[in-house]
Structure formats: C-alpha cells, structure tokens
Amino acid sequence: MDHNWTDASGSRAVLSAVRRREDSPFVEIAAPLVLENARPGTVGVRIDWQVRGKLREDWPEDWPEIEPSELFVVYPHDWRPNPNGTGYLHSFTASFPVRLPRSEQLTRLDVTATARDAETGKPLSDSKSLRWDEIDAHPQAISVEWADATSPDYVKRHPIGPQERVATLLQRLRAGSSVAVIAPRRFGKSTRSVPIDRRFPQQDDRKQPDAQCRLRDIESRLSGDESDGVCSCPPPRPRAR
C-alpha cells in the first residue's frame, strides 16, 4: 500500500476536511491510496487503520469508523499497470473521520495501515506509514453550472466520438447520398448538425435543391422535442439533363 502520487516526482495530494453538518463534532478527510501487486489476481483485503495523535482519541462507538472498514475484493480487471515501474496498481479512497484540534489548526494527518488477507488475517505486507502535510480545513464549495446547449463552435474545436465524423457526413452530402444520425435524446444530434450546415457551401436552392433540403431536414428533425432519436434524409430526386 502507498500514496496515490499526483505526479511522477512523488507529490502527495492536498486533502480536504469536510464537515457533513454544520453542528458535526468531527470532519471527514478523504485520502487517495493504491494497493500494489506483482500480478493482477483476485485479492481479498481487510485493512487495519491507526491514526496517530489525538485526532481519534476516545472515539465514541456511534461515530463513523475509518473506511474501508470491512473486507473488500479486488478482481483481476480492477488492476492497472504501474506507469512508473513494474507490477500493478489498484486505486481506492480511504475516509478518515477525525476531530478538529481546538488549540491548533489541522495541518497534518499521520496514519499507519496494515493490509491483511481477508480469509487468513495474515498481513499481505509490512505495515505502511502514510503522512499528508497539507490539509485544507475550510474547502470552498464547488458549483457546476451546466449549459442547456453546447455551442457548435466548441464541438468543432473539441470533437468527441461521432462528432469526429463531420467530414465524412459532409462528403456524403456533397455526393448526394443519404445520411442517418442515430443517438438517444440529448446526445448532441442537433449540435452536430449546425456545424455541418455552416460548413456546407451556400448555393442557390434552384441549383442544389436536394442538398439544401437535406440540410434543413437534418436540423428541423433533430431540433424538435418530439424526435424519436432517428434522423434521416430522403435520397436525391432524379434530375432532368
């Protein structure tokens, strides 16, 4: 077991002390950790925790314990290769409920952890001393405001998934082919049709009736609230030569 380092040089994460209720007599500190293993096998683990100092001294039984407190199983698919060495890693989070010191600020957390085999109780490795020297005792709340719609220009700059296929759709439309955009509701079908419409050459409707019709059909069908998730365009009409 070890710290889940934030970079290759071995920097520890800055922890946050969160009070779940305003009148709570303790705070909870979440710390990122990793288990290390030579091979990605199935391992049942139970961890014994000890917080050094007085942060959990005379801890009442009805107050929360350090998590994970019960045994847990790490399966082969839960391990990932160690990018900075050999073996495999499994990331997890430990939660430490502790008191806030009255006489001094909470600036450090020292923990001793022993990982044991869930069946035999034998230590899987030597006990590990863990230490964090930076704790934010008054973290600011993070507010996330989601926009109702995504700007087509943003999609153009940062395409993901099917949005990367705009060039293919343009090529097929210019060739007079039909296209179909299939996705669940609120999956960006309308957002993707706008950059297509902007990039398509603006030509006289009398010269390109089928192309302009198909583009209008895409945008009108995809922007409707009654869309069933499928948008299709009619094949080109025969033209007299």
- On the question of pLDDT at 26 being above 70, the answer is yes
- On the question of pLDDT at 78 being above 90, the answer is yes
- Domain endpoint, select from 79, 107, 136: 136
Query: What is the number of domains present in the chain?
Result: 2
Q: Is residue 239 part of a domain?
A: no
Same domain (yes/no): 177, 110: no
Give percent of the chain with pLDDT exceeding 90.
27
**Residue 191 amino acid letter:** T
Same domain (yes/no): 95, 165: no
**Two tokens, residue 70:** 């019960």
Domain interval for residue 227:
152-232
CA nearest to 163, candidates 195, 124, 139, 118:
195
> DSSP secondary structure string, 21-86?
STT-SEEEEEEEEEEEESS---EEEEEEEEE-SSTTTT--TTSPPPBS-S-EEE-GGG-EE-TTSS
Mean pLDDT of 93-107: 81
Mean pLDDT of 44-53: 92
Write the DSSP symbol of residue 226.
T
Q: Is residue 241 part of a domain?
A: no
- On the question of pLDDT at 227 being above 70, the answer is no
Please give the mean pLDDT across all residues of the chain: 76
